[in-house]
Amino acid sequence: MQKEIELLMKLQDIDYFIGELERSKDYLPDMMGNLRTEMEELEETLENHKKRLEEAKVEQKQLEIEIAANNEALEKYQQQMLSIKTNKEYDALMQEIDKTKESVSTAEDKTLLLMDEISELEEKIEEYTAKAADVKERNSGQLEQLQNQIDAVGEKMQMKDDERKNVLVRIPKPLMSAYERIRKGRGGDVVVPVRKRSCGACHKQLEPHLVQEIKKGTKIIMCDSCGRILYWAGDDD
């Protein structure tokens, strides 16, 4: 029976590899999606900063025009002061002057804030430009590798399927049926070693006579707790 156990272990390795290939059909595209999302988010952030920078510069220019127009108006008001004849005219002109000065002050405060924002945006754009380039270079290489892995899945699956068929024909049908039943019911490993005189899967302590039978390797022994097929791995502890 030792030969049959070895064949089952080989089949188990093949099935594990096939399972990994099946899972890769899901997680490899997800990994690629995450890499693309990272690049897209950086590019979007960079573009938003660039857009805001252009808007801020336009706002600054408009404020500068507004300030210049108001300062020009103040000069005209100062000239008009020389020709005022009544208190009413004086009060009305002073109101216009105060109002215009307030507008200039407000516009200058906004301009200072915009200048700070523009400076900060320029720094961020430089930072994100470099970061986006680095991430694009790194992620592009990883995307190419992942795509190659995806492209190779089909070929690897075919190779493992052929290898599995080659092993199947050498395993007795009753034993193969037991293997498939355990694999479907328990999942994971079907053939497990004896560890410290216990089942290597569920850790159920084995009777001494069962351990001796497993050591001999003359017949198939299953764990009476989890039902997995046991084999001796040379563990005498």
* CA–centroid distance for 98 within its chain: 58
For the 13-171 domain, the top CATH level (class) is mainly alpha
Q: What is the pLDDT of residue 2?
A: 82
Q: What is the pLDDT of residue 4?
A: 92
Residues in Cβ contact with 108 at an 8 Å cutoff, skipping those fewer than 6 apart: 67
* Long-range contacts of 213-221, Cβ-Cβ distance < 8 Å, separation of 24 or more: 217/1, 217/2, 217/5, 218/1, 219/1, 220/1, 220/4, 220/5, 220/175, 220/178
Q: What is the pLDDT of residue 65?
A: 97
Q: What is the pLDDT of residues 69-125, one digit of tens each?
A: 999 999 999 999 988 889 999 999 999 999 999 999 999 999 999 999 999 999 999
- The whole-model pTM stands at 0.66
**C-alpha pair distances (Å), 203 with each of 68, 178, 198:** 87, 20, 5
Residue ranges per domain, the chain?
A: 13-171, 174-231
Q: What is the pLDDT of residue 236?
A: 56
* Long-range contacts of 99-106, Cβ-Cβ distance < 8 Å, separation of 24 or more: 100/70, 100/73, 100/74, 101/74, 103/66, 103/70, 104/67, 104/70, 104/71, 104/74
Q: Which residues of the chain have pLDDT under 50?
A: none
Distance CA 51, CA 121 (A): 10
The three-point CA angle 123-128-133 to 5° equals 135
